[in-house]
Structure 1
Amino acid sequence: MEDPPVDAPASALSRFVLRAALADPGHLPELLANFAVHHLGQRAATAVARAREEHPGAGDAELSAMVITRGRRVSESEGACVGGPFTVLVPFAFCTALLTQSRMMLELAAVTGREPTEGARAAELLVIQGVYGDEEEAAAALEAAAAARPDAPPGRITALWRVVKRMAHLLGVVTPEGRPVSTAVRVGQWVLLGGVFLIGLIAPLVWLPYLGYSYHRAGQELGERAWAYYRGEATAWPSRPTRPTRAGRARPAQVAGTLRTLLSLLVPIGAVVLVVATGAKLAGGRYPLLAIVLVTSSTAVGTIWYLRRRRGSTD
Structure 2
Amino acid sequence: MGGTESARQRPGLVALLRTVRADPARMPERLAVFAVEFLGPQAADTAARAHASERAGTSRAEVTEQVIGRGVHRSVVEGSFLGGPFILLLPVAFVAALLAQLQMVLELGALAGRDPRGDDAAVEVLLVQGVYSTPAEARAALRKAVRAEAEEDAEAAFGGETAPKGSWWSVVRRQAYLIGLVTPDDPSRGRLRKWLGWAGIGVLLLVGMVVPFVWVPACAEMYRRATNQLADRALQRYGSPGAGDAPARTRNRSGLRPGALLVVLRTVVACLATVGAVLIVLLTGVRVADNALLAMFLVLLGLSAAVVGWHYWRSRRARRD
What's the TM-score, normalizing by structure 1?
0.76
**Which of 92-101 and 279-288 deviates more?**
279-288
Aligned residue type for 1:226: A
Change (3 A) 1:7 1:269: closer
Deviation at 1:121, TM superposition (A): 1.3
Counterpart among 247, 250, 255 of residue 252 in structure 1? 255
Hey, what does 2:156 align to over in structure 1? Answer: none
Aligned residue type for 1:18: L
Change (3 A) 1:276 1:114: closer
Hey, what does 2:285 align to over in structure 1? Answer: 283
Deviation at 1:24, TM superposition (A): 1.5
Deviation at 1:17, TM superposition (A): 1.6
Aligned residue type for 2:179: L
Alpha-carbon RMSD across the aligned residues, in angstroms, is: 3.7
Hey, what does 1:93 align to over in structure 2? Answer: 93
**Which of 9-18 and 113-122 deviates more?**
9-18
Hey, what does 1:137 align to over in structure 2? Answer: 137
Deviation at 1:291, TM superposition (A): 4.3
Checking the alignment, whether the CA contact within 8 Å between 1:27 and 1:145 is kept in structure 2 is yes
Are 1:230 and 2:229 counterparts?
no
Deviation at 1:7, TM superposition (A): 3.9
Q: Percent identity among equivalent residues?
A: 37
Equivalenced residue count is: 293
Change (3 A) 1:35 1:295: closer
**Any gaps of 5 or more consecutive residues in structure 2?**
153-160, 247-252
Checking the alignment, whether the CA contact within 8 Å between 2:277 and 2:300 is kept in structure 1 is no
CA distance in 2, matches of 1:179, 1:39: 36
Aligned residue type for 2:122: A
What's the TM-score, normalizing by structure 2?
0.75
CA distance in 2, matches of 1:203, 1:11: 33
Deviation at 1:187, TM superposition (A): 2.0
Deviation at 1:118, TM superposition (A): 0.8
Change (3 A) 1:10 1:152: closer
CA distance in 2, matches of 1:94, 1:79: 6
Are 1:41 and 2:40 counterparts?
yes
Checking the alignment, whether the CA contact within 8 Å between 2:213 and 2:307 is kept in structure 1 is yes
Deviation at 1:251, TM superposition (A): 5.4
Checking the alignment, whether the CA contact within 8 Å between 1:205 and 1:298 is kept in structure 2 is yes
Hey, what does 1:186 align to over in structure 2? Answer: 194
**SS state at 1:145 partner:** helix
CA distance in 2, matches of 1:96, 1:9: 17
Provide Cα deviations, 1:234-291, integer angstroms capped at 9, x if missing partner: 99xxxxxxxxxxxxxx95156x655644554454445556788999533177647744
Aligned residue type for 1:252: G
Hey, what does 2:158 align to over in structure 1? Answer: none
Within 5 Å, give how 1:1-315 maps onto structure 2.
7-8=6-7, 13-55=12-54, 56-148=56-148, 149=151, 152-155=162-165, 158-178=166-186, 180-201=188-209, 203-231=211-239, 252-253=255-256, 257=259, 260-270=262-272, 281-283=283-285, 287=293, 290-291=296-297, 294=300, 298=304
**Which of 194-203 and 134-143 deviates more?**
194-203
**SS state at 1:252 partner:** coil
Change (3 A) 1:14 1:197: farther
Checking the alignment, whether the CA contact within 8 Å between 1:17 and 1:95 is kept in structure 2 is no
